[in-house]
Amino acid sequence: MSTDSPHEPAPPSAEATDPPRDSDSIARRILRLDVAMKRCGYVAVGLSGLVLLLGPGDLLSGATLFPPIIVTLIVFATLSLGMAYVPLLMETSRLKARLAEGRAGEDDSAGRYDPTPHHWYIAGAVTLAVGGLMMVIGSWLAAFV
């Protein structure tokens, strides 16, 4: 790149500035786990919205195929969120116990990062989106049937 260019150099990517998760300190890992648990809670609130919309039964009265599909998606999404939330909570508790008992300091390594809870969270979030889409399609079909 020449020095007379009006454009600024591109900023470094997040991958270049963010250290890998396996090298997290305990304090940083606890912060990441807390954020992940909050995201699980947000998706759970979305699921409760779907349950509230599905509850009265009037919304999808003409589209008889959609309620069982949506209920199945809600059950799978709830399972996925549970499979994500519980390991996140257990890991957070384990790390906080290490700090409280004095076995480690905040700057010590948290150890290997397990991405499995994140994969379950993604499955739950995608299932919520599909369930919401099915709710919209079903309500439009019910409106014209």
Residue 27: C-alpha distances to residues 20, 40, 70, 109 (Å): 15, 20, 39, 9
What is the per-residue pLDDT for 107? Answer: 80
What is the per-residue pLDDT for 1? Answer: 47
With pLDDT > 90 as the criterion, what percentage of the chain qualifies? Answer: 34
**pLDDT confidence band for 11 (50 / 70 / 90):** low
Residue pLDDT, tens place only, 23-80: 788 888 889 899 999 999 999 998 888 888 877 767 777 777 888 888 898 899 999 9
Q: How many CB atoms lie within 10 A of CB 20?
A: 8
Q: pLDDT higher for 99 or 56?
A: 99
Total H helices, total E strands in the chain:
4, 0
SS3 101: coil
